[in-house]
Structure 1
Amino acid sequence: MITTDISANLFRGGAEFEATDRGVRLHRLPAWVRQQYPDAQLLSMESQPSGVRLSLSTMATVIELVTHPTRVAYRGADRPRGSVDVTVNGELFSRDTLDGGDAMVVDFESGTTSFESGQPHTTLVSALPAGSNRIEIWLPHNESIELVSLRSDAPIQADNSPAPIWVHHGSSISHGSNAAAPTEIWPVVSARLAGVDLHNLGFGGSALVDPFMARVIRDSSADFISVKLGINVVNTDAMRLRAFVPAVHGFLDTIRDGHPTTPIVLISPIFCGIHENTPGPGAVDVSTLGTDHVQFIATGRPEEVARGALTLEVIRRELASLVERRAADTHLHYLDGTSLYGQADALQLPLPDGLHPGPEAHQRIGERFAALAFTRGGPFPRTR
């Protein structure tokens, strides 16, 4: 078996490598952001390589990837483990569910966190087709991971096939919460259908119109940009209306400093019944802990909307109006999130926890976004 150095040129969709005692850890945000705002939630989410994959060209028939996962677990709430998906020439070839690794165990009731250590995990990909193949190894969207070693029975090179770059920023839904696997989160579904190179800046609980996130997008290479804002601002009760609208204007202005004519789609939240007319903050319904159906609830008061509190209906109205007022920017487009997942979809494919779409809904959202955005006449006119 041949050992290949794990180097940055083998990857797509990440920002930086960090050397660790075991190997390397991938980051989706640059070091200056992590130093400037070391928020525990953001740091946890950005180290989960949602949308990041090894992109390889090889004649190998066997590939072995050793990793050391670290996951966040919630006492009383069973969460599925992450997985590694392998595609061969664009088609799903295998899926490997992680085991072992370390766990940060959060106890909602006590507010405490404990650490549990575990062993490395080996993903073995065998019986690959003969000849030269394009292999993508999609890393777990919902667990941090250190890459320890990469081995194969033939040399491996980076696959440098060109593709337009799509930079997408959003919340835990874009990150992939409740999706079954890394190739089944909705941005990856869209990207694979459209044949574009995804850079996923979806971060659970962290789409808060942060200026540093706009700077990251500004400084990124991008042929297409989408920004999905609203749900985290509501469920953290982070802003009132007066602050939210100027913040989004500033966010877009910063992106435009680096991308004056790049197509941007501003996406409002998908349907979420608990926050449609009820402000945040959101919370976990503690009565559902320990069951198979942990639920989120909204704890705000609807009467606060008159004093500027935000709901999803307010967010959609204001984002649509904002884009209208920026009509001089002909490369800025608005997409109502309920066209991706609306009230009728919620009846057919309910949000399992009241907040995040399930696997089938992720597939539906991804297919709809690809059909709305990456088609002739759409804001991102790109097809295979």
Structure 2
Amino acid sequence: MILLLFSFLAKKTMSQRLVFLLIALLIHSIFLFEISSALKEGQTCVLNENCDAGLQCETCLANNNFRPRCSRTQPINPISKVKGLPFNKYSWLTTHNSFARLGAISKTGSVILAPTNQQDSVTSQLTNGVRGFMLDMYDFDNDIWLCHSFRGKCYNFTSFQPVVNVLREIQVFLEKNSDEVVTIIIEDYVNSPKGLTKVFNAAGLQKFMFPVTRMPKNGGDWPTLDDMIQQNQRLLVFTSDRSKEATEGIAYQWNYMVENQYGNGGLKEGECPNRAQSAAMSDKSKSLVLVNHFPDAPDLIVACKQNSAPLLESIKTCYQAAGQRWPNFIAVDFYKRSDGGGTPQAVDVSNANLICSCDNFAACQANGKCG
């Protein structure tokens, strides 16, 4: 058959051969699309629809991987394993600048010139297992907006949308999913009196908020996930503005967690320095650990490489720096981009160690043992 094919092609002109090969490639692609569905991680694909649930068809040119293959977009939900542990014994996929979506147009009607950090909406992120959201909030246009801006001021070309829009997406999710817990981490530039309180009330989220009075300040364990769910206190909110804890009852972030350096400073191999506002990574008087793993300038192409093997190494390095504590929040840009397991795998490894003291989360049993 192969000899006949070569003989056939030999009799054709160069242009005819090219057309024939292109048609053959198209037929092969259609055939693959028609017969291939529910492909597993790592298998060759053509479209996202070829891949099983929780996967997408991806190439990673930054890692010299030109073959399109199914890559993970969703971590295993730790609630599916066990809900009876303290909140600080779980790890959650977290998106940096969750609102800064590729291709978004400002609700002011202006073109956005600010960098973008994610590919999809907050609703889509929630569907894919993201449970931590980093939101930059500013006073703007007589309201509070999500902006990716500079010098503490928002502009038309750095503004995305009013905060309440995204908060309502989270409210809808919490209403529909009574056993889910979500965390919001605010980079806070809001100066209007009770501004945060007003916007959370407007979004219908106040009833879900976990009270500051229940947050441990001495390094103790948090309430169990079961307890938080039963009490319907399923939304944790942290702010970068220290004064808001006293004035609005919103937790000052670094009273409760340690955090490594964000941006390029947090990507140095073998290092995990704390950011300036945070206590040392090894300070165990803070029960929660946040690991940032994203560059100064977001890069959609390079993200697939950064979100793969280097991310796994980063959380292991920060585990040592944090006094042998696995991260509770793993924050990344373009969380869907990877060269295989990606951010979901990193979250799974962290949860496996937190919950079952092993590396394979799939092997975790309901009793918290590896089996």
Calculate the TM-score normalised by the size of structure 2.
0.31
Higher helix share: 2
More strand by share: 1
> Radius of gyration: which is bigger?
2
